Structure 1
Amino acid sequence: MTLAMSWDEWARHDGLALAARVANGELTAAELAAQAAAGIARVDPVLSGVVEVFADAIEDPAKAGANLAGPFAGLPFLMKDLGPTMAGRLQEQGSLYMRGNRPAADTHLTSKMRKAGLNLMGRTTTPEFGVCSSAENPAVYVTRNPWDTDYTTCGSSAGSAAMVAAGAVPIAHATDGGGSIRIPAGVNGNIGLKVSRGVFSIAPHLSDLSGLVSIQGCQSRSVRDTAAFVDHCRGGAPGEFMPYWTTPEPYVELIKRDPGKLRIALSHQWGDYRATPHIAAELARVGKFLESLGHHVGYALPEVDYRAAFAAQTTCYISNFAIVINNLLASRKLERPPADLIEPVNIRIWEAGRGTSFAERAAMQAVFNTTSRAFGAFFEDWDIILTPITALPTPKIGTTEYLTISDNPDVLDWFENLWRNFAFTPLANLCGIPAISLPLASNEHGLPLGIQAIGKQADDGLLLQLAAQIERAIGGQWNGGATPAVHVTKG
């Protein structure tokens, strides 16, 4: 098959650049879809990041639901196999239990994506129900890092991160309940923004109260693609439980201007959790770079009871997830999760969480409140908190203590192990504040290390402005201009 462009040319384009070529008649959306499908076929046999490609969406993007008059003009887009549903398409959530699950309707966000012109052409891997830090169960699939396939992509937006990093698509769907956009962005060398609460909706699924910590979003390779995704996919459905907010100016316009001089607080230890010396040194190096851009940089940290905050976050995950499993069991009239279909740690989380009392949830919410207010007070004096995305280097494939196939009998110990590596991401979910991972550093093994910028509630635009300022300063050369070992441009 003859493709519309060479792989080098394809990889040089971000999503908006490809969309512009469709809009001005140089290319068709079907040609873009064919190229993306060929890109997936080129890299996915090694990476195992794509569950399914939709043949009809490649053949005729408009007929499959993409609005070719939208700003993304039929741009190929992969959906994480979790969260927003697509009418009539499978959604199996990384689980043997969910095999054959075919939702009947689009969710609100899916409709927004289609209207924006995204061509939802396939689905990507995720750990079972999005729990844990790697899409890695040999009974389902093992997703590998394109920079070095001995390592994990982390998670839970594993396949989307791998496909964006490997150049198959410029942008893909991701979700984040505690770092699941930012962590895989960080270890795969992508841009990953977790927006503030009140931006994206997946109505009618999850009331905003029960889905308190979980956020939708994307993985991308350019700041403007992420900005455009937020601009065109944000907003609540009728009857939302909480207010949805917007901005006076689209982010794609805002990011054309540098922010003013920012007060940036560096931090590489949160409570009991500390980054390795190498990772702390990388953070300091990026801090000096930001000083060279004219920002004020120092070391500071919100006055939070970190132990209580992480305990409350753990209670939230365990109790929320127990309800998810309960609902799945009720739909099949089962008493308990089948051990041959649901992974061991997920069964233990269900066991630990199904008896959570209202009083325990109320205590959890009280800690959420005090933690959010401590961060709020901190942001009266500082504009941004800068941290590494991970405290430790990327795990190798098969590091079972991070996986839901672990045989760890103690759920709290299993979560504690996660926090040791991923401490810097989840409190932004707890507080409902924005945070972005930028591919600016590398870990001890030479693999990408994201640097995270956290802002105050509704300061998403400021994070994107800073990211765009950095992008201009480095000439668009994220990851130092390097590309992964597994990449569409590398036969």
Structure 2
Amino acid sequence: MNLAMSWDEWARHDATALAERVRKGEVTPAELAAQAAAGAAKVDPALSAVVEVFQDVVADPLKDGMDPAGVFAGVPYFMKDLGPTLKGRLQEMGSKLMRGNRATADSFLAGRIRKAGLNIIGRSTTPEFGTCSSADNPEVYVTRNPWNTGYTTGGSSAGSGALVAAGVTPISHATDGGGSIRIPAGWNGNIGLKPSRGVFSVAPYGSDLTGVVSIQGCHTRTVRDTAAFVDACRGGAPGEFMPYWTTPEPYTQLIKRDPGKLRIALSHEWGDYRAAPELVAELEKAGRLLERLGHHVEWAVPRVDFRAAFAAQTACYITNFAQTIAALMRQKGLEKPPAELVERMNRRIWEFGIGASYSERTAMQLGFNTASREFGAFFEEWDVILTPITAKPTPTVGTTEYLTIADNPSVLDWFANLWGIFAYTPLCNLAGIPGLSMPMGEQAHGLPFGIQAIGAQGQDGLLLQLAAQIERALDGKWNHGRRPGVHVAA
């Protein structure tokens, strides 16, 4: 097969650069789609990150309504198999229960993505319903980390994380209900922004009022691609319950300037949770770099009642996932999750949470309010909190204790274990504040490690501005300029 570029040339382009070549007439969207499809075929046997490639859209990028005049001009893009729907396409949510489930309409964000000029060429893997943080069920698929296939990618945006890291596409879709953009970004060496609540719409099937914690986004390898995605795809659909954030200038312009001197709090001792020493060392390295860039950096802990906040977050997850599973069962005329079709922990979550009372949800919402105000007060004194992306290193494939195939009999204990690994991401979802994983660190076993910058509500642009300053200081060489072993150019 004749491809438009060598793999090394392809891997040197981010989405913005590919789009510029399309606009110059040097390459076509169809040629980009063919190259990405070939890249997926090349690396996916080792990674299992692709659920499906839409061969009809590879052949004809305009078939589903992609706007070639959009900022991305036909750059190929994988959609996580969860969240926004694509009319007529399968969406199976990493679940045996949902096999054959076909969407009847595009979601609002899918339309924005296509209007931005992104050519959705397929589906990427996710754990069942996105509940846990790795697509690691041998009965469905096991998505592996391109840096070392003995390790997980994290999740729940598992496939997108692997595909962007392996050079298949420079940008792909991700969602985040408690770290599902940032964790796989951190463990695969990508850039992953969980934006503020009120940036990307989840219409028409939900809203930021009904969805509460889950939010949309993408994985990229450059800050400018993330900024361009937010600029092009942000905004509410008709009938939103709340106003959507606006910005006085596009993020693609804002990131060209360094931020002023920032007050940055290094932090990892959050309530009962502490990061492993090797990960604290990576956080300290990041802090020293930021000091050299002229920022004020010191250790500080947000004055948050972490136990109460995590209790509220746990209540939210249990009740939200229970209702999600119940809604899917209703579609299929089922009264309870079938053991042969729904993973063990998801069945237990449904059983534990389906009978939750309005009083319990009200207590949860009050917990959200308290924690949000506590973070808000902290951001009156600090501009950015810098944390490790996780409290523990990346697990090997087959580590089941935090997966929904775990046989832990206690739902509460399972969630407590989850927070022990993923201590620093979920409270951003609770408070609706932005968090950005930057591929600055490295783990002892050689995998990348993300450093997370957290900002106040609506300060997404400031986080991107800081990341762009770091990117320039590193001469664009995130991950110390390394590429993973499984890569299109390997």
TM-score normalised to the size of structure 2?
A: 0.99
Residue number in structure 1 paired with 2:340? 340
Residue number in structure 2 paired with 1:433? 433
Question: Which SS does the other structure have where 2:167 is aligned?
Answer: coil
Establish whether residue 475 from structure 1 lines up as the match of residue 468 from structure 2: no
Residue number in structure 2 paired with 1:86? 86
Q: Aligned-pair distance for 1:80?
A: 0.2
| Counterparts of 1:311 and 1:63, CA distance in 2 | 46
Residue number in structure 2 paired with 1:405? 405
Residue number in structure 1 paired with 2:305? 305
Counterpart code for 1:339: A
Counterpart code for 1:303: R
Question: Which SS does the other structure have where 1:151 is aligned?
Answer: strand
Q: Aligned-pair distance for 1:201?
A: 0.5
Equivalenced residues, count: 490
Counterpart code for 1:206: G
Once the two structures are superposed, the pairs formed by residues 132-143 of structure 1 within 5 Å of their partners are: 132-143=132-143
Question: Which SS does the other structure have where 2:208 is aligned?
Answer: coil
| Counterparts of 1:141 and 1:266, CA distance in 2 | 37
Residue number in structure 1 paired with 2:186? 186
Q: Aligned-pair distance for 1:446?
A: 1.8
| Counterparts of 1:207 and 1:339, CA distance in 2 | 31
| Counterparts of 2:3 and 2:102, CA distance in 1 | 32
Counterpart code for 1:228: A
Question: Which SS does the other structure have where 1:236 is aligned?
Answer: coil
| Counterparts of 1:169 and 1:93, CA distance in 2 | 21
| Counterparts of 2:171 and 2:269, CA distance in 1 | 32
Q: Aligned-pair distance for 1:208?
A: 2.2
Question: Which SS does the other structure have where 2:242 is aligned?
Answer: coil
Residue number in structure 2 paired with 1:226? 226
Residue number in structure 1 paired with 2:377? 377
Residue number in structure 2 paired with 1:450? 450
Residues 51-90 of structure 1 deviation map (CA, whole Å, 9 limit, x = unaligned): 0000111101012321111111111000000000000000
Counterpart code for 1:173: H
| Counterparts of 1:210 and 1:273, CA distance in 2 | 29
Residue number in structure 2 paired with 1:74? 74
| Counterparts of 2:118 and 2:303, CA distance in 1 | 42
Question: Which SS does the other structure have where 2:210 is aligned?
Answer: coil
For the 8 Å contact 2:201–2:207, the answer to whether it is kept is: no
Counterpart code for 1:25: G
Counterpart code for 2:451: I
Residues 390-443 of structure 1 deviation map (CA, whole Å, 9 limit, x = unaligned): 111100000010111111110111111111110000000000000100000012
Once the two structures are superposed, the pairs formed by residues 247-326 of structure 1 within 5 Å of their partners are: 247-326=247-326
Residues 143-164 of structure 1 deviation map (CA, whole Å, 9 limit, x = unaligned): 0000000000011000000000
Once the two structures are superposed, the pairs formed by residues 196-211 of structure 1 within 5 Å of their partners are: 196-211=196-211
| Counterparts of 2:70 and 2:455, CA distance in 1 | 30
| Counterparts of 1:207 and 1:478, CA distance in 2 | 35
Q: Aligned-pair distance for 1:243?
A: 1.0
Residue number in structure 2 paired with 1:30? 30
Once the two structures are superposed, the pairs formed by residues 377-396 of structure 1 within 5 Å of their partners are: 377-396=377-396
Counterpart code for 2:291: E
Counterpart code for 2:72: F
For the 8 Å contact 1:210–1:320, the answer to whether it is kept is: no
Unpaired stretches in structure 2, ≥5 consecutive residues: none
| Counterparts of 1:326 and 1:74, CA distance in 2 | 38
Q: Aligned-pair distance for 1:16?
A: 0.7
Deviates more, 1:179-188 or 1:297-306: 297-306
| Counterparts of 2:103 and 2:436, CA distance in 1 | 31
Counterpart code for 1:79: M
Q: Which runs of 4+ in 1 moved over 4 A?
A: none
For the 8 Å contact 2:440–2:479, the answer to whether it is kept is: yes
| Counterparts of 2:92 and 2:328, CA distance in 1 | 12
| Counterparts of 1:286 and 1:117, CA distance in 2 | 35
Counterpart code for 1:175: T
Q: Percent identity?
A: 71
Residues 36-62 of structure 1 deviation map (CA, whole Å, 9 limit, x = unaligned): 001101111100000000011110101
Q: Aligned-pair distance for 1:447?
A: 1.0
Counterpart code for 2:457: Q
Counterpart code for 1:421: I
Question: Which SS does the other structure have where 2:192 is aligned?
Answer: strand
Residue number in structure 1 paired with 2:164? 164
For the 8 Å contact 1:56–1:64, the answer to whether it is kept is: no
Q: Aligned-pair distance for 1:349?
A: 0.4
Residues 289-321 of structure 1 deviation map (CA, whole Å, 9 limit, x = unaligned): 100000000011111110111011000000011
**Cα-Cα RMSD:** 0.6
Once the two structures are superposed, the pairs formed by residues 1-16 of structure 1 within 5 Å of their partners are: 1-16=1-16
For the 8 Å contact 1:78–1:122, the answer to whether it is kept is: yes
| Counterparts of 2:278 and 2:63, CA distance in 1 | 51
Residue number in structure 2 paired with 1:106? 106
For the 8 Å contact 2:132–2:404, the answer to whether it is kept is: yes
| Counterparts of 2:207 and 2:13, CA distance in 1 | 37
Unpaired stretches in structure 1, ≥5 consecutive residues: none
Question: Which SS does the other structure have where 2:123 is aligned?
Answer: strand
Once the two structures are superposed, the pairs formed by residues 107-146 of structure 1 within 5 Å of their partners are: 107-146=107-146
Counterpart code for 1:190: N
Counterpart code for 1:88: G
Question: Which SS does the other structure have where 1:150 is aligned?
Answer: strand
TM-score normalised to the size of structure 1?
A: 0.99
Once the two structures are superposed, the pairs formed by residues 354-373 of structure 1 within 5 Å of their partners are: 354-373=354-373
| Counterparts of 1:63 and 1:401, CA distance in 2 | 43
